[in-house]
Amino acid sequence: VFLKYDGSDFVEWEYPESCNVNNKSSPNAIMKCTSPGFQMVKPLVSSPEEEETRYLFISDSFFSFIWYAVVPIDRGSTETSSKKVRMWIIDPEQADPAEINNTALVPSTQSRYITKHFYNKGQYPVITLTSKQTHLGHFQKDGYWEAVIPGDEKYNDFHIYGQPISFQHRFVIEGQHTFYWPEPTEPNGEREVSLRLAPGSPLLLVWGTCELYHGLLLSDTGALITKNAFLTSEELKVDPGSLPVPPEGYFTVDQAALLEDGIIFRIDGALYWRDNQDRVLTEHPQLPTSGVMGLYQRTCCASNYPVQDVELSSLIVWKDNVLLVGPKQLKNPGRANFLKIVLTVPPTVTFLTASFGSHPASLATLVMNSVPGAIPRSFLTSYNELVPSWITSTFMTKFKLKDIPKGPFEMRFLESADASLLLWNKETILYSFHNDNEWGEIRPFNASHLSAAANGSKIHQVALGKIS
């Protein structure tokens, strides 16, 4: 129950022992109760006149059962193209500890009883994969449903939902399930050295484009890499190979990109390659060795994009007066060049930032034109990989010069039918939604910009969530 009191004389909430309030001293609070029925609630105030006691009816939740799922590892099987998923229904209030800890391989006695009751009433689970494929569960004599789904040696992510069938007036809530099988990693060798951001830099988090469980966290004290979404992690080090190790004993990294076959690091204006196999940090003949000003990796997987014979880019690199794009793998014997130029600009134009667009085949860059004797102006221009062409957006032209914040900038597009983006510096965020039809600055009610509202703290990174 959401509790709210309007008035300046509020002190705290008075409530039953069978309930819990997240912050009893706040006029806006949430109360949760362990049993249904009427519950007494009273706001205590400092004024002489007391508030009335309220009696609120708390009903039992319709969704008190949940789906449990497990993917047993069959070590005797040589089949890697598919995996079996076992599913049954549990009551979190009465489940076995192994089910609560997600270590159970078969249902407990209580869960088997609940599951069979639901099965007899016509219940069955449906698995929806990220590719939108669906798979039905088939009931087994051991008291669970089983489904066979396409396998992945490292990762499985799917959604389970059932039928609108109740037991004891309660339903089964649908949910998301994720499983990881990270490969064992060899320990770091004696020659391997650390990778760090410059001293005082905020944390930098990079995720794999299509392998969302693969992540890299960079800080000014070291780098951590994970293959199971940080359920576990380990320090990432590199063998310097023929590269001289800096006097401080580690390499200072500016940016990084996780490709499928290795990692690209931007270090002092150059791009270096660390292969997943040999883990040696090295220059690569297909990567620029100077002048690189920025690096951007695709954040949304485009592998399922329904276009045949087209590999969309996964990486954007900008240097000097050229903008380049590259695929998701560096190593490809049949490809002459990893990076290709998609835009060349005159010396008066500077690349400020770049990003992939709302449409999977689009990308955009923010540039600044500095003509001698004229006021520098920034422009947003976008590119389509399927129909190679550049279009200049009206986004930045909608702002007055005095209202445009100073860089450095970062940019991120939302996945949407109409182009929608966020552009930010360390203090504020600009937005443009629905092909520039809605635009402005994200401002809090109590301050001129976000940094001011956060008592001077700076914007380090912007992450976009998913609303389901």
Tens-digit pLDDT profile for residues 440-464: 888 887 788 888 888 888 888 888 7
In sequence order, the β-bridge partners of residue 98 are none
| Number of compact structural domains in the chain | 4
Are 195 and 327 members of one domain?
yes
Whether residue 408 has a cis bond before it, omega within 30° of 0: yes
Is the separation of the CB atoms in 55 and 38 below 8 Å? yes
DSSP 47-63: SSSPPPPEEEEEPPPSE
Q: pLDDT under 50 in the chain at which residues?
A: 467-468
Are 111 and 124 members of one domain?
yes
Q: Which pLDDT score is estimated for 295? A: 96
Q: Which pLDDT score is estimated for 42? A: 94
Are 320 and 362 members of one domain?
no
Q: What pTM was estimated for this model as a whole?
A: 0.73
Domain limit, last residue, from 340, 358, 387: 340
Are 326 and 204 members of one domain?
yes
Q: Which pLDDT score is estimated for 468? A: 42
Radius of gyration from C-alpha coordinates of the chain: 28
Are 281 and 214 members of one domain?
yes
Q: Which pLDDT score is estimated for 323? A: 96
Is the separation of the CB atoms in 177 and 158 below 8 Å? yes
Are 164 and 204 members of one domain?
no
Domain limit, last residue, from 340, 362, 397: 340
| CATH classification at residue 92 | 2.60.40
Domain limit, last residue, from 58, 75, 101: 58
Are 227 and 272 members of one domain?
yes
Are 329 and 196 members of one domain?
yes
Domain span at residue 84 reads 63-180
Is the separation of the CB atoms in 57 and 31 below 8 Å? no
Phi, psi torsion values for 268, nearest 5 degrees: 50, 50
Burial of 314 (0-12, 13-18, 19+ CB in 10 A): buried
Are 31 and 79 members of one domain?
no
Q: Which pLDDT score is estimated for 200? A: 92
Are 215 and 172 members of one domain?
no
Are 368 and 403 members of one domain?
yes
CA–CA separation, 75 and 147 (whole Å): 18
Are 232 and 319 members of one domain?
yes
CA–CA separation, 294 and 254 (whole Å): 9
